[in-house]
Structure formats: structure tokens, C-alpha cells
Amino acid sequence: MSAVRTPAPRSVDDLEATFRDRFDAAPDGVWFAPGRVNIMGEHTDYNGGFVLPIALAEGTWVAARRRDDDTVRLHTDSPDVPDPSASVHLGELHDGESVGWASYAAGVGWAAAQRGFDVPGLDIAVTSNVPTGAGLSSSAALSCGTARAWVDLAGWSLTDTEVADLGRDAENHIAGAPTGLMDQLASVCGRSGHAMQIDTRSVEITQIPFDLSAHGLALLVIDSRAPHALVSGEYAERRRSCQEAAAALGVPALRDATVADLDGLPDLLLRRARHVITDSARVEQVAALLTDGSDPRMIGPLLNQSHLSMRDDFEITVPVTDLIAETAVRAGAYGARQTGGGFGGCVIALVDQDAAETVAEACVAAATAENFNEPASFVAVPSDGARRIS
Ligand code: GAF
């Protein structure tokens, strides 16, 4: 069996049938929001820096129906969720009080209410082909798919950035994950065949053509199947260290500092800040290579540098993602790095299309030889952002 397997899309018919089964009525519509992989710029988004994600073809499907009260009833077919059905009254949601997985969806209603909108209840059934906890933004796919549905059904007029912001607020305030805005922007604003260079300070998005197949290349996503969790303390700790480093340097955010400014910082803060500053600079370097007609293979060394920076300076890689990144390069990848929040999850590797299978197989062999979970690989295809599909 091939070591590279595209996750099967979910059936809209099946989702609608599930919805009718659960809620005794047809949904008003079905929406889809993608997960993402980030090509470069990790933990730079909450420091005002640059990021370079693509939206994936994989994501979350949300069937929804407007209600005439303030109740949100939810159902998921995810096997990873202990309690797949939930019911929440919007008026009972409070900042800092999670309601489990439902927070990512119902929290969007809370966020809309904070902005003064009159928020109707919803019945929601969801299904997804983004693995949870793999660093591919399954949570942003859920919050942004729900946000798109809510905005359409309630008739609010919001920009894409404002829709993404609803998703982020759900994650930050109700789910308790102190994320930046990258994942939600990628999920809402993705464009087929493009990577997004996002200046997270101005929230300016530059869509950059990203057609690796035209160069005989592929972006292989290798899921270590070592789960990560953004609500665990490590992500928040990194965020605090960055704030501390910025405060020690007397700048509003690390975006405003250069590596030359870091001398004299305590070692830990120096390394954390150095990662953020250099990874943000690498986004600009990759974006330049992609726009000036260079061979995209030249991105490879920058991917490797980013992985080392995350391993040694930011300390967010884990032994299995280090092993996968090294193995991918040894097996022929031009470069490889862990992607996403870290502490597990996925590695991306830039490979010749006809080497994808060899690289994926080498990663399976290396990981299983060390008694890690068997990695699962697929090829990332830059795709469109959140939208209504029926
Ligand atoms: C997670 C967060 F949700 C993002 O905001 C970003 O900080 C990322 O980790 C690291 O780059 O995906």
C-alpha cells in the first residue's frame, strides 16, 4: 500500500442525512472550511511578524440550520471526541469558560454577540478529514466553517478578516487556546494555487502563486501522529517569553527588533526572540524566491534552517518530528520542517513529485524503527478558503 494517501473527502449527502437524523429537519446549507499548513514563519503571528500558510483541500464540513432561540445544538462524527453531541445556550457562554469541543463552534456566536450582533441559535452537524491535534488547524477549520455559516444565515456583513477574527475569538476566549490569527486567516482567505504572505501586524495578505507541480515538485505533509495541544501550557509559555523579550528590549513586539538588538538578553529570551525574528525574515526570503521566478527548490535550505531554529532556539520540536525532518532530507527532500504550533504534529517536506513515495516510506521506516507511531503522509494542494458549498 502507498505511504502517500490523500484523505478522502467527506460526503455532503451523508452529512445532510446525519443532520436530518439528529435534528429532524434538513439543514439550511452546508459550508466547508479548510485546514492549513504553514510553509514558513512559526510563532511569528502573535509577535506582529510574517507568516506564509496555504489552505488545504482537507477541512471541515458544517451543515447548519438557523433556530429562532439562542440555543446551539451540535453534533460531530469525530471519533476523537468523547461527547459527540452538545447543546449550549449562547447566553450562558462566558469568557474563559470552555464548553469542550463545542467551544470552537458555539464560541463564534459568543464572539458575534460581543460585537453587538443579534445572534440566532443554530443546529450544526460537522464532519472533517483533517486529523485533530496534527497541527493542521482542525480547530480553525471548525471555527471558521461555523463562522461562515453563521454570517450567511444571520445576514451579517463582515469582511474576510472579520470572519477570521470571530473564529480566533472563539478559540482564545471560549476554547482557551491563546493563538494568533494565522490559522483562521488561512482558513478563510485561502486561494487555490496560492500561498498567503500575511503581515500579521497590518493584516495585509499578499496572494503568491504557489504551483509546485509546474516545477515537478510536491509539498509532502508527514503527520508524526504525535499529537500536540495548543491549550496545553507550552504554547502560552512561548507567547509569554516573547512578550517578556519585547518588554526587555523596550519594543511593542518582536516585529520591531532585529537579531543585533538581542545581545544582553538572558539566554532563554535571546533564543526565543532570535527564532521569531529569523523565522519572520525567512518568510520574506521564501516569498521573494516564489515571486522572482527562482526555482522553488531554493526554498529547501530555509525550511531546514527553520526546523533547527524551532528545535534549538524555540524548543517546540519533539524527537519524532526531528527524526522525520532529518529522514526526509536524507531520503531526497530539498528541505523539511515541522509546521504549526509544535510539540508534535506534522513535518512538511519539499520533494520531487516522483520522490514523494520514497521519502514517505523512509519516514515510516525510521519512525517505526524507533517505536514511534507510524507517520501518515499526503501531498498538500493549495486550495480555496471557507465557503458555502450547498
Ligand atoms: C498555532 C496557532 F494557532 C497560530 O496562531 C500560530 O501561532 C501557530 O501555532 C504557530 O505558528 O497554529
Its ipTM equals: 0.99
Residue 103 to residue 116: CA distance in whole angstroms: 19
**Residue 167 beta carbon below 6 angstroms from any ligand 1 atom:** no
Nearest CA to ligand 1 atom 8: 341
CA atoms 367, 368, 371, 375: torsion sign: positive
C-alpha cell at 63: 451543515
**Residue 43 beta carbon below 6 angstroms from any ligand 1 atom:** yes
Atom of ligand 1 nearest to the CA of 46: 7
What number of other Cβ atoms are within 10 A of residue 321's Cβ?
31
Residue 165 to residue 188: CA distance in whole angstroms: 10
User: What residues pair up with 30 in beta bridges, in sequence order?
Assistant: 63
Residue 239 to residue 157: CA distance in whole angstroms: 32
Q: Which CATH superfamily is domain 211-380 in?
A: GHMP kinase, C-terminal domain (3.30.70.890)
CA of 184 to the centre of ligand 1 (A): 10
Residue 124 to residue 109: CA distance in whole angstroms: 12
Residue 17 to residue 363: CA distance in whole angstroms: 39
Q: What CATH code is assigned to 12-207+384-388?
A: 3.30.230.10
C-alpha cell at 362: 523512509
Residue 192 to residue 218: CA distance in whole angstroms: 15
Nearest CA to ligand 1 atom 1: 341
Best probe residue, ligand 1, of 39, 44, 45 (max atoms within 8 Å of C-beta): 45
**Residue 16 beta carbon below 6 angstroms from any ligand 1 atom:** no
pTM summary value: 0.97
Would residue 295 show up in a list of annotated catalytic residues for this protein? no
**Residue 283 beta carbon below 6 angstroms from any ligand 1 atom:** no
CATH 3.30.70.890 in the chain is located at: 211-380
Atom of ligand 1 nearest to the CA of 139: 3
Catalytic residue among 123, 169, 183, 313: 183
**pLDDT number for residue 229:** 63
**pLDDT number for residue 133:** 86
CA of 42 to the centre of ligand 1 (A): 7
Give the residues of the chain that fall short of pLDDT 50: none
Task: Give the containing element (helix H, strand E) for 333.
Answer: none
- Residue with the three cell numbers 476566549: 173
CATH 3.30.230.10 in the chain is located at: 12-207+384-388
Atom of ligand 1 nearest to the CA of 135: 12
Query: Position 306: which residue type?
Result: S
Closest CA relative to residue 352, chosen from 294, 297, 311:
297
